């Protein structure tokens, strides 16, 4: 591998983790449910499912194996659009006859099975995924010197009493993790999903503005952590895309209650307890309306 290829490889590894804001190898068989579906990674499209996993190092250890941030990243380099589709963590799914909430998919080792269902839910197909621990996100933000974002409404943590007022904010790594995890707002989980999208944008924007030398230092400093990512992506496939990632236009898609396609219910999980879940209003397992909504909102 020549030196230029090595640099692009490292750059793309950095870009992937940067896509997290949020929350950023065995090659599995491609699943194309709809006619005309494109490969998940080519010069026209890069699509993967991003899971944000609760951290163990910084104290978010109540349920360290759950992935409460699930974002479908769909980048279209030819038009400069990056679609960010958040899938609700409480979405009740059925994978190979096993029913559970979406945030349990990694814990149950069902990621590959869920990816086969992704086209039915979203109309987009991919067999690629990345699982990122929020502790790595903290290191990314701190090594960038913090990020800037505009918080649309105040965020309050009922447990600790910590409050972040609305407006322009410069966030440290700890503050970023707190914000992507906080859901104590009128919109609940949907509040943090929207903040996660903003944080992804803020991290990419900060990285873009850095000098070439600063970017190189950042990449090499983060490389050991990036190598620990749980992913099935062969980054050599998408080095050409990394060269084109300059100033993407973000398109945020959040499946909140405002779209009128989801409803909440209580599901009995054992003889003595139940759990809050989300299901399509059209009926459990009927994703036609949700898929059409996402498809109509995509930029491509």
Helical (H) or strand (E) element with 167: strand 167-171
What CATH code is assigned to 3-297?
3.40.630.190
Kindly report, residue by residue over 27-52, the tens digit of the pLDDT: 233 333 333 445 676 777 889 999 98
Kindly report, residue by residue over 266-285, the tens digit of the pLDDT: 877 666 668 889 999 999 99
User: In degrees, to the nearest 5, what angle opens at C-alpha 251 toward C-alphas 180 and 281?
Assistant: 75
Which position has the token pair 């398109």? Answer: 251
* pLDDT value of residue 9: 46
In the three-class reduction of DSSP (H, G, I as helix; E, B as strand; rest coil), residue 141 is classed as helix
Pairing mode of beta strands 249-254, 81-86: parallel
* pLDDT value of residue 245: 62
Q: Using 70 as the pLDDT threshold, list the residues of the chain that sit under it.
A: 1-39, 41, 55-64, 159-160, 183-189, 235-246, 269-273
* pLDDT value of residue 184: 61
String of DSSP letters for 195-209: HHHHHHHHHHHHHHH
Which segments of 87-159 are extended strands (E)?
92-95, 98-101, 129-133, 147-151, 155-156
* pLDDT value of residue 41: 67
| pTM of structure | 0.79
* pLDDT value of residue 276: 86
* pLDDT value of residue 241: 57
């Amino acid at each position: 591998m020549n030196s230029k290829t090595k640099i692009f490889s490292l750059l793309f590894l950095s870009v992937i983790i940067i896509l997290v804001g949020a929350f950023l190898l065995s090659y599995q068989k491609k699943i194309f449910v709809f006619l005309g579906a494109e490969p998940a990674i080519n010069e026209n499209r890069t699509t993967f499912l991003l899971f944000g996993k609760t951290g163990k190092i910084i104290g978010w250890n109540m349920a360290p194996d759950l992935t409460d941030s699930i974002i479908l990243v769909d980048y279209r380099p030819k038009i400069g659009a990056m679609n960010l589709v958040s899938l609700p963590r409480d979405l009740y799914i059925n994978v190979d006859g096993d029913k559970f909430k979406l945030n349990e998919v990694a814990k149950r080792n069902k990621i590959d099975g869920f990816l086969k269902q992704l086209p039915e839910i979203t109309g987009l197909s991919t067999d690629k995924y990345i699982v990122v621990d929020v502790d790595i996100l903290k290191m990314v933000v701190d090594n960038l010197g913090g990020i800037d974002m505009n918080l649309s409404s105040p965020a309050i943590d009922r447990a600790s009493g910590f409050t972040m007022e609305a407006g322009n904010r410069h966030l440290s790594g700890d503050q970023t993790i707190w914000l992507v995890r906080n859901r104590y707002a009128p919109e609940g989980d949907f509040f943090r999903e929207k903040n996660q999208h903003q944080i992804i944008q803020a991290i990419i924007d900060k990285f873009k503005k850095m000098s070439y030398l600063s970017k190189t230092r950042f990449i090499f400093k983060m490389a050991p952590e990036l190598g620990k990512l749980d992913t099935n992506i062969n980054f050599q496939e998408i080095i050409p895309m990394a060269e084109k990632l300059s100033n993407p236009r973000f398109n945020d898609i959040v499946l909140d209650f405002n779209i009128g396609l989801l409803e909440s219910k209580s599901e009995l999980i054992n003889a003595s307890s139940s759990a809050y879940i989300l299901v399509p209003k059209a009926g459990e397992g009927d994703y036609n309306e949700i898929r059409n909504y996402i498809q109509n909102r995509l930029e491509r």
